[in-house]
Structure 1
Amino acid sequence: MSRRTILVLGNANLDLVTGCIDDWPEPGTETFLPQSDFRTGGSAANTALTLQRLQHPSGIISAVGNDPAGQMIAQQFSGPHDHVSALDARTSISVGILHACAERTFFSTNGHLDLLDLSFFEAATDSVDMSGRLALLSGAFTMPALLPDHDALLGLLKERGAETAIDPGWPGSGWTEEARDHAMVWLEHSDHVLLNEKETTGLADADTLDQALVWFAPRLRKGARLIVKRGPVGALCLCDGAVVECGAKDLSVFDTVGAGDAFNAGYLHAVASGLGIDQALAWGISVAGSVISEFPRSFSPLKPAA
């Protein structure tokens, strides 16, 4: 099977995931939690690591801070397509507190992510052959310096022959008019728009997913796909007005952090391998299910039953 190279551009940071808790503790007290995992995180890095486990030709274009945390992250990306720079800043850190209901709360610092802008990605990709490759731009809302030029970077990738995908994540201030304006412009240069259900309805300013799909339909480029990740329900694709759905299996899940990023890896792996939309959705769901069923996360090869 011929497989195109996937390049992931975006955020890499350090994650401390711990839990679970039922009730938030009172200030000034100490709570002991039964489990924790200290690992590389950030939506772009999560997807890139999952692609490594799928043994798909791939790489990440990102940066870390010039501290021990940054060194730890950079050591995981030493492949021929990886480009991880060390910037003069502290590495961004996220602390994820898992709740018994399977939801989570994040406390994050931006750190080096504040320095990732258009000039960084232009320089990092200057000598990279993009022709025929699939490029995912991930975590836009975690990189404030890139926001004004996010569409310019997408345009540059397309001009250089890449098929483009975006997963901007959730805007820190919610779906304000400014955030929605940014994201609507990005649709014009995107071949694959990867969002979860809340992000889909938030961007569309809709009350239901059906209303959101009606809003998206005329705003997607011809042939472009909106992929909606629906957690335990599965996923769907909207393309040229038609909707394709794929269900998910019941899983016993403890740690859902990075589920959408793992889905992105499975989905893009299938697309870059020439598979159809039904198989691509199934791959995304299966890979995500395999990853979030682990705690702590593994580095071993993934062979999901897609």
Structure 2
Amino acid sequence: MSAVREDLTVVGNTNLDIMVSGVTSLPEPGTEALVPDIRIRLGGSAGNLALRCAGLGQPTTLISRVGNDASTALVRSELDLPHLKPVLITDPELPSGVTVAVEAPGRDRAFISSLGAMSALDAADVPAEAVAARCVVLAGYFLLPRLRGPGLAGLFTRARAAGALTVLDTGWPTEGWTAEVQAEVRGVLSSVDVFLPNSDELTGLTGVEDPRAAALELAAATGTLVVAKLGADGAGLALPSGEWSHAPAQPVVPVDSTGAGDGFNAAFLTCLTRGTGPAEALGTAVRYATELVATAPEHRSAVQLAEVLPL
């Protein structure tokens, strides 16, 4: 890996999120309801991951597909940051993707998304210099139809040939964890070096409730390093050899858990890109994500990586 550049490439979904707060029910047809707050911000698994990596000082290239419309100008302005190189391919026919997130106290968020130009993103959009990074990450797998299955395998084959570490964060399939989806993901993991599921995704993929057992089974079956995000329990690392490492999260008073998973991913991958071993990176990423949860979103830019410590 000595000849590989010390940077990171993120490929995937970048769009605007419209965050609607305080929605307890939809208004009746023909009526209007007031909510406490509606905000617009950068969204998408890939966009958020790239933003967080750049915020840690990690040189990052983001590759996404957008439309030629007003929302794209907002996306570009949000990505105008030090350490971040956005490569946004403008689709001449499709609009940019948009997600509406509806949230209320005591309820899980619900999302309504339009893929738009994201539906046309494929491996040919990723230039050769981008796959020669230290890490090449695909985020938002299930929202990128042309990069599912063979599309991902082709991209990661190129990345591995260039000496890059390949990383996958799938998210949740809109069609659910059907037998076909499970087989699809297990199939593509043969071209993945690092897999970044959370505990619910692990259960959906394997049918095993215990995340440690699920991660170990998956790692052994696919030869992939599985990094399991466990929420308040921290994170775990399963090696194909059968070894398991666990980094517990210190108890904190949560302020906002939004973005904790993206923050964990960014910290873990930044550590790997800088040459830190996976077990040490795991502990650093948990500490970073825990501090994010305890910090108001408007102050999170001040949260940086702590010193890497052994587990």
Structure 2 length normalisation: TM-score?
0.86
- Give the equivalent residue in structure 2 for 1:260: 261
Q: Which secondary structure state, in structure 2, belongs to the residue aligned with residue 82 of structure 1? A: strand
2:89 matched residue in structure 1? 85
Taking the aligned partners of 2:189 and 2:41, their CA distance within structure 1 comes to 32
The answer as to 2:122 corresponding to 1:117 is yes
**2:294 & 2:112 partners in 1: Cα distance?**
23
Q: 1:72-108: CA deviations, max 9, x gaps?
A: 1123335574312221221111111223236311111
Letter in 2 for 1:134: C
Q: Name the CA distance, whole Å, in 2 between partners of 1:200 and 1:66.
A: 37
1:130-209 superposed matches below 5 A = 130=132, 133-148=134-149, 149-209=151-211
Partner residue, 2:225: 225
Structure 1 runs not aligned, ≥5 long: none
Identify the residue that residue 270 of structure 2 maps to in structure 1: 269
Contact map agreement 1:64 1:74 (CA 8 A) in 2: no
- Higher relative contact order at CA 8 Å, sep ≥6: structure 1 or structure 2? 1
Q: Deviations over 1:53-74 (max 9, x none)?
A: 1011212111221111112112
Deviations 1:9-46 (A, max 9, x none): 1110111223245x434534544333443111100110
Question: What residue number does 1:99 align with?
Answer: 104
Distance 2:295 2:21 in 1: 14
Q: Does the 8 A contact of 2:227 with 2:235 survive in 1?
A: yes
After TM superposition, the structure 1 stretch with the greater mean CA deviation from structure 2, 23-32 or 98-107, is 23-32
Unaligned runs of 5+ in 2: none
Distance, in Å, in 2 between the alignment partners of 1:175 and 1:53 is 33
Shift of 1:233: 1.5
CA distance in 1, matches of 2:296, 2:302: 15
Letter of the aligned partner of 2:91 in structure 1?
L
C-alpha displacement of 1:278: 3.6
Name the stretch that deviates more: 49-58 or 143-152. Answer: 143-152
Percent identity (aligned): 29
Q: 1:166 to 1:271 in 2, by over 3 A?
A: same
> Displacement of 1:254 after TM fit?
5.2
Conserved 8 A contact 1:92-1:110? yes
CA pair 34-177 structure 1, distance change in 2 beyond 3 A: same
Call closer, same or farther: CA 1:278–1:71 in 2, change over 3 Å. Answer: same
Q: Do the aligned partners of 2:21 and 2:35 also contact (CA within 8 Å) in 1?
A: yes
What is the rounded CA distance, in whole Å, between the counterparts of 1:82 and 1:5 in structure 2? 13
Q: TM-score, normalised by structure 1?
A: 0.87
- CA deviations on 1:206-236 (whole Å, 9 max, x unpaired) are 2332442343132232xx4200111121110
Question: Which amino acid counterpart does residue 25 of structure 2 have in structure 1?
Answer: W
Q: Which moved more, 1:280-289 or 1:75-84?
A: 75-84
The number of residues matched between the two structures is 298
Query: 1:162 Cα deviation (Å)?
Result: 0.7
Q: Are the equivalent residues in 2 in contact too, given 1:194–1:228 (CA < 8 A)?
A: yes
In structure 1, the partner of 2:287 is 286
Question: How far apart are 1:286 and its partner, in Å?
Answer: 3.1
Label 1:55 to 1:80 Cα distance change in 2 as closer, same or farther (>3 A).
Answer: closer
For the 8 Å contact 1:151–1:185, the answer to whether it is kept is no
Structure 2 residue identity aligned to 1:300: S
What SS is found at the alignment partner of 2:180? helix
CA distance, structure 1, for counterparts of residue 287 and residue 48 of structure 2: 16
CA RMSD in angstroms, aligned pairs only: 2.5
